[in-house]
């Protein structure tokens, strides 16, 4: 087949695909318009066609209720605009959203907004109600929080992400869905619109639109390492353990640091138990080495330990030390949670070394910003 015919065929395929994409876009736009079609009833109240929306599922499989009871929560949900926040307390992305969510609770609760925190754990220690209670107190959460320890409500929402926000209107229809951080102004505008709809439906007077909550948003660096998992189950398809010994599920493995290391891989020294969600130190001393990129570095750990932290072979300077690092370059692990190790203004490349001298110390992830 000569080149001119080949070129013609390729152009023809491109045109067909392009027309298909354009048709799909316009079809989607048509669906969006149809799903938000409005009409006015005999009382002059604007009604929205909600046939294209799903209703929020029931909260199922809940292990514990914080700041509420099952009976109180069921009554509160009825007739309210409800923001369902699916989160877990050691997730840095979830933590960064909490100032906005607690601010919306303070600002709009009396206007008909109910926030429900659905705590769906990633790690086993996050199922402990006492650990979640500490986090709820630490972050000033006053709204109801339910412990979805078996992720039954997570599954009912057909969710796959932390964090995720769904907003249901006063009739229970999900009108908004946001994955991850960001979108705070957009989310708050949806809250205002749905509260106005609720007020109109109830024949209540509504004030003018309020100013949006003004909180500085965390700016992620483009050059940053990916989240690194220490548990063999979580590391499937994203194994970044650089030691040649590798993962050996449910075994004690003695690791040795190699002569050369690569960025975005972590390396171990000492004897560690390979667990589903973590590595647990067995020997008297263990070392973790990681060459990384980013402006923020966090670790999720449990157990009791005083960790010595070094950056490029030296103790951490206070100018870049995270909130959980002491002036002596020590991180005191005293409860299972996320610990902030490094904070810089822009993305930087360094090698971090963590020395643990307490058997039983357990590490789950590195996260970056």
pLDDT at position 48: 86
46-59 tens-digit pLDDT:
678 898 899 999 99
pLDDT at position 9: 38
CA 71 vs CA 77, 78, 239: distances in Å = 10, 11, 45
- Terminus-to-terminus CA distance in the chain, angstroms? 52
pLDDT in tens, the chain (369 residues): 443 433 343 444 343 334 343 343 333 323 332 245 555 555 555 678 898 899 999 999 999 999 999 999 999 999 999 999 999 999 999 999 999 999 999 999 999 999 999 999 999 999 999 999 999 999 999 999 999 999 999 999 999 999 999 999 999 999 999 999 999 999 999 999 999 999 999 988 766 668 999 999 999 888 999 999 999 999 988 899 999 999 999 999 999 999 999 999 999 999 999 999 999 999 999 999 999 999 999 999 999 999 999 999 999 999 999 999 999 999 999 999 999 999 999 999 999 999 999 999 999 999 999
pLDDT at position 47: 73
Among 289, 278, 298, residue whose Cα is nearest residue 360: 278
DSSP, collapsed to helix, strand or coil, labels residue 330 as strand
| Six token digits for residue 179 | 């994955």
Among 178, 162, 181, 179, residue whose Cα is nearest residue 90: 162
**In order of start, what are the domains of the chain with their CATH numbers?**
46-201 (3.40.30.10), 228-368 (2.60.120.260)
105-137 tens-digit pLDDT:
999 999 999 999 999 999 999 999 999 999 999
| Alpha-carbon Rg for the chain in angstroms | 25
Stated pTM of the model: 0.86
Q: What angle do helix axes 184-201 and 92-108 make, rounded to 10 degrees? A: 30
């Amino acid at each position: 087949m000569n080149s001119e015919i080949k070129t013609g065929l390729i152009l023809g395929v491109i045109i067909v695909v392009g027309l298909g994409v354009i048709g799909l876009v316009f079809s989607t736009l048509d669906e969006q318009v149809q799903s938000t079609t409005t009409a006015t009833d005999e009382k002059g109240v604007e009604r929205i066609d909600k046939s294209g929306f799903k209703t929020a599922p029931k909260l199922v499989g809940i292990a514990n209720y914080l700041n509420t009871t099952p009976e109180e929560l069921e009554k509160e949900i009825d007739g309210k605009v409800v923001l369902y926040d699916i989160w877990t307390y050691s997730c840095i992305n979830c933590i960064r959203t909490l100032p906005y969510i607690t601010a919306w609770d303070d600002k709009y609760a009396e206007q008909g907004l109910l926030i429900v925190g659905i705590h769906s754990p990633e790690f086993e220690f996050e199922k402990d109600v006492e650990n979640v209670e500490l986090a709820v107190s630490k972050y000033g959460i006053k709204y109801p929080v339910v412990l979805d320890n078996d992720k039954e409500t997570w599954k009912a929402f057909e969710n796959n992400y932390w964090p995720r926000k769904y907003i249901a209107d006063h009739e229970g229809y999900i009108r908004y869905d946001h994955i991850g951080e960001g979108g705070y102004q957009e989310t708050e505008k949806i809250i205002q619109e749905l509260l106005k709809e609720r007020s109109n439906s109830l024949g209540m007077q509504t004030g003018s639109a309020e100013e949006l909550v003004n909180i500085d948003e965390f700016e992620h660096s483009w050059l940053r390492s990916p989240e690194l998992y220490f548990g063999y189950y979580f590391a499937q398809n994203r194994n970044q353990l650089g030691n040649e010994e590798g993962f050996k599920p449910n075994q004690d493995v003695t690791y040795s640091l190699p002569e050369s290391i690569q960025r975005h891989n972590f390396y171990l020294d000492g004897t560690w138990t390979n667990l589903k969600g973590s590595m647990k130190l067995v020997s008297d001393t263990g070392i973790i080495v990681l060459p990384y990129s980013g402006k923020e570095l966090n670790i999720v750990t449990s157990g009791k330990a005083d960790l010595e932290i070094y950056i490029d072979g030296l103790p951490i300077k206070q100018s870049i030390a995270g909130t959980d690092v002491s002036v002596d370059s020590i991180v005191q692990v005293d409860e299972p949670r996320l610990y902030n190790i490094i904070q810089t203004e822009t993305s930087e490349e360094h090698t971090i070394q963590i020395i643990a001298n307490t058997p039983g110390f357990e590490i789950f992830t590195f996260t970056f910003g």
